[in-house]
Chains A and B, each alone.
Chain A
Amino acid sequence: MAALTDDQREVLAAIQDGLPLEPEPYRIVAERVGMSEERVLALIASMLAEGKIKRIGAVPNHYALGITANGMSVWDVPDAVATEVGRKLGARDEITHCYKRPRQPGWPYNIFGMVHARSREEVVETVERIAHELGIAQYPHDVLFSTRLLKKRGTRVRSSQFTVDSSQSGASE
């Protein structure tokens, strides 16, 4: 893991809230940060190549577009097959994030898959359909719906100092 270089940080700080919606957006960014457009293009390309920027494009507000139900499906999968099941779940279009996490006292589930849909009913139907199609319906599972967003910040950089924070990661958990 390489941290941002100073120049990368400078450019990222200038574009993290959005690219100018103008014909030559990167030229405008270049003027703001006092670099050449070529330099800005190269720095952004390097951050994409290094995986620091996951991608560039439209970041939809899925709630405004009707995808208002957010379900966290959780599964108690035997350790021997947990990775295989996680990969299969993660490969499904309906699952937007998928992780293996440790079990804890009172918490038996080790595989987590987020499902977004237009209604809770649709989330539940989706989870059950996936369970049957992947042949994992026999493993204990549950769906936790979010009833309230209590706090959300974005992953943001400051031009002088990095602060981890997270809504820009697109993590709509």
Chain B
Amino acid sequence: MPRGETAQVEIDDTDRLLLNNLQGGFPVTHRPFAQVAEQFGLSEDEVLTRLRRLVETGALSRFGTILNAPQLGGERTLAAMRVPAERFEEVAAYVNGLDTISHNYERTHAFNMWFVISSEDEADIARTIAQIERETGLEVINLPTLEEYFVDIRFRF
């Protein structure tokens, strides 16, 4: 994602406290925000007001769940292609148009297009790769996860 594309949001120390400590473990109870507020020595109302503002300003994508796609069923893989510069936009439009493509990034390498293929049906992965190779005439390398060491994004702000 190009730098400067997303507006930067200013946050203060209390926002930072909430952001750094609430990226998981939110209580599943009747009054969860009150519980969290007590932990930080804030009022329930202040926690809610701050979280609403963080969502409204775009500092938070949302306040809620992070799903575990593999546990929900379905298959996914990471794939990459070397796309000639003059064909990049055309190939990107084609690849993005496929339902089984969930992410696609341009990256700084001879392998310059990196995408995630996801489907409930494992056979769709191979079908998608074959289809892209056939339609674009370009080779796709398939890089499925063999082992996953740690997947838990928590940012420090």
Report the contact-size class of chain B (Cβ under 8 Å from the partner).
35 or more
Nearest residue (CB) in A for B149 is A90
Contacts known (A15-B65, A60-B23, A166-B118); A23 close to B153, Cβ less than 8 A: no
Contact yes or no, B78 A151, CB < 8 A:
no
A-B contact number at CB 8 A: 300
Residues of chain B lying within 8 A (CB to CB) of residue A144: 107-109, 111, 114
Contact yes or no, B66 A48, CB < 8 A:
no
Contact yes or no, A58 B19, CB < 8 A:
yes
Taking chain B's interface residues, is the majority helix, strand, or loop, or is none over half, making it mixed? mixed
B12 within 8 A of A: no
Contact yes or no, B149 A86, CB < 8 A:
yes
Residues of B at under 8 Å CB distance from A?
Answer: 1-9, 11, 18-19, 22-26, 28-34, 44, 48, 51-52, 54-55, 57-76, 78, 80, 82, 92, 95-96, 101-111, 113-116, 118-120, 141-153, 155-157
Residues of A at under 8 Å CB distance from B?
Answer: 1, 3-4, 12, 15-19, 21-27, 37, 41, 44-45, 48, 50-70, 72, 83, 86-87, 89-91, 93, 95-102, 104-107, 112, 116, 142, 144-153, 155, 157, 162-173
Known: A57-B24, A99-B149, A116-B155; 12 extra A-B contacts, CB below 8 A, are: A27-B30, A50-B71, A52-B71, A55-B24, A55-B65, A96-B151, A96-B152, A101-B143, A107-B111, A150-B96, A151-B101, A166-B103
